Amino acid sequence: MVEMKTVSIAMLGSGFVADFYMQGLRDVNGQQVALNYSRSLAHGRRFAERWGIPESTASLAKAIARDDIDLFVIALPNEAHLPVSLALSQARRNQVCTKPLARNRAEARQMLRAAVKSRALHGYAETEVFAPAVVKARETIERGGVGRVIWVRSRESHSGPHSAHFWDIEKTGGGAMNDLAPHCIEAARYFFGKPDKVVEAMAWMGTLVHGHRTKGEDNALLALKMSGGGIAHCELSWTSKGGLDLRNEIHGSEGSIFTDVTRGTPIQSFTTRSAGYVVEKADIDFGWTRPLPEEAFAYGYQAEMRHFVECVRSGAVPRETYEDGYVVSCVLEAGYASAQKGRWVPVKY
């Protein structure tokens, strides 16, 4: 038997998405998270202790200087993506970044160009296209089960962000559309096939509930015209109660596919008191609830982390790279421009 190389990982971040990445990595063989970087030393130490990470640091330079790290995972707030990624590229380090890749197209372009120039691995951690239900849907499409894909509808909604920085659009780049649409845009590209490009975008945005907390939109609709004539539309909300709502519909010339990760769970319960964690963004944890078993697996965190670890080990190019993150940023830019102009806007790549 050939001994498997252990991939050494540095987790950059100690918040919500970093926790989900650690849950995903927990079931991935042949890897070890050897280092945590956090902008808060106290948060980093608590994170490292919780996950059994041997070392934590608040020095990004110290983390990047580690030549025993095979992969750096950027799980930091949006405003940190660009400077951290550029520093990693300068040092020619393998990197994976959470969504959205950047706050806007210009930042995403800088990250992509620097990563390509470094000749190191770069992976875009978009969970939606690694979720088992979504992967199965794509397999059905590839086998001709629904004929030609003509319409994709995706919904990503919950009652609002879990962290204060999400409400500040100067730090994030936008509101609910910037936060949630990356999942839906990439799902559309996955279902139609990436050669079928998004050529135009049309969006509506509104701040209907959370105007006292943010200058950004808390609800949005985003429609996408594909080069092959198909249409995709994305429903995005920070005001929807009942926990995270993740759904896709794929309609083809010969059939349809429906995915529902959070509302179609295999367990329902009614409790008169709290029974603990239910699902991401759940507003209550008693009464009628739909707990989601193996949440990190269902959302795609485990599959994407396994994929990126295997790519580092084999030297393969990931199926989601910074190029994909850049494309999503281009579509988002067109969507925001459309909401301002009130018309369809071409997507510029």
The residue type found at 183 is H
- Give the model's pLDDT for residue 205: 98
200 burial level (CB within 10 Å; 0-12, 13-18, 19+): middle
Whether the full predicted model's pTM is greater than 0.75, yes or no, is yes
Q: What are phi and psi of 200, to 5 degrees?
A: -145, 155
Q: Using pLDDT thresholds of 50, 70 and 90, give the confidence band for residue 157.
A: very high
Q: Using pLDDT thresholds of 50, 70 and 90, give the confidence band for residue 167.
A: very high
pLDDT digits (tens, 9 = 90+) for 68-111: 999 999 999 999 999 999 999 999 999 999 999 999 999 999 99
Sign of the torsion formed by the C-alpha atoms of 305, 306, 311 and 316 = negative
Q: What are phi and psi of 297, to 5 degrees?
A: -70, -45
Residue 151 · residue 254 · CB < 8 Å: no
| Of residues 225, 124, 244, the one with CA closest to residue 182 | 124
pLDDT digits (tens, 9 = 90+) for 169-190: 999 999 999 999 999 999 999 9
